[in-house]
Amino acid sequence: AQSVTQLDSHVSVSEGTPVLLRCNYSSSYSPSLFWYVQHPNKGLQLLLKYTSAATLVKGINGFEAEFKKSETSFHLTKPSAHMSDAAEYFCVVSGRDGATNKLIFGTGTLLAVQP
Amino acid sequence: DGGITQSPKYLFRKEGQNVTLSCEQNLNHDAMYWYRQDPGQGLRLIYYSQIVNDFQKGDIAEGYSVSREKKESFPLTVTSAQKNPTAFYLCASSVGTGQTYEQYFGPGTRLTVT
């Protein structure tokens, strides 16, 4: 079975400092992994996805994530936080439900950016 | 301008009433999904549909019903049997249900039942 664990429920950074949001996954086969962002009372927007190509994945708004199979991790990073990055972030793994793939969501990490 | 629309944004109902949430997409996607979001619990799958006139229960289908009569529409009915219906509901769609397909999300409907 597939699962995903977001290691921090809340992260606070200062504007201009690096962002690290941690995610570990469990999968019985080679997974697809995604990071989504959600601003308050909005839908989810895809930041980036990993689908067994390059292990370093670049996404929108300066975010990137590195797939590390040996550590079963897919941490999200950004070199310099902006106030507009304050939101909730979800790490997601694609899992199988019989013949269908479905997304399995982590519980989210709320990122606060201090001025 | 392609995307997913959900209406209304906020919905208030009295306990014991059924309510239907709308979801429309113009992305020409085959698959559509309904999720429920509660604070601190991430998203949980209610129902999904891979193709018109077909749908399957997700992880928390009790107290909900759906239909898929048209490719672009996937309405969700929250029935009076749902014990705790107050939540944020998100609709999504994808090209297919393969492992690599990402889902695109609508803006959500916040349902409050009193």
Q: Tell me A71's DSSP state.
A: T
Cis omega before residue B75 (within 30°)?
no
Pick among A67, A103, A109 to test the B interface (most B CBs inside 10 A)? A103
Distance (Å, whole) CA B70 – CA B49: 11
**pLDDT bucket at B107, cuts 50 / 70 / 90:** very high
Residue A90 sits at φ, ψ, to 5 deg, of -120, 130
**pLDDT bucket at B1, cuts 50 / 70 / 90:** low
**Which residues from chain B sit within 8 angstroms of residue A107, using beta carbons?**
40-42
Distance (Å, whole) CA A105 – CA B58: 13
**pLDDT bucket at A56, cuts 50 / 70 / 90:** very high
Examine the pLDDT at A98 and tell me if it is beyond 80: no
- State the pLDDT at residue A100: 66
Examine the pLDDT at A78 and tell me if it is beyond 80: yes
- Can you point out the beta strands (E) in chain A? 3-6, 10-14, 19-21, 23-26, 33-38, 44-50, 56-58, 64-68, 73-78, 87-97, 100-105, 109-114
C-alpha torsion sign, points B97, B103, B105, B109: positive
> Around Cβ A96, how many Cβ atoms within 10 Å?
15
Examine the pLDDT at B2 and tell me if it is beyond 70: no
B35 contacts B48 by C-beta, under 8 angstroms: no
Q: Does the beta-carbon distance from B105 to A9 stay under 8 Å?
A: no
- State the pLDDT at residue B5: 95
Q: Does the beta-carbon distance from B108 to A42 stay under 8 Å?
A: yes
Examine the pLDDT at B109 and tell me if it is beyond 90: yes
**Which residues from chain A sit within 8 angstroms of residue B6, using beta carbons?**
43
Q: Does the beta-carbon distance from B42 to A108 stay under 8 Å?
A: yes
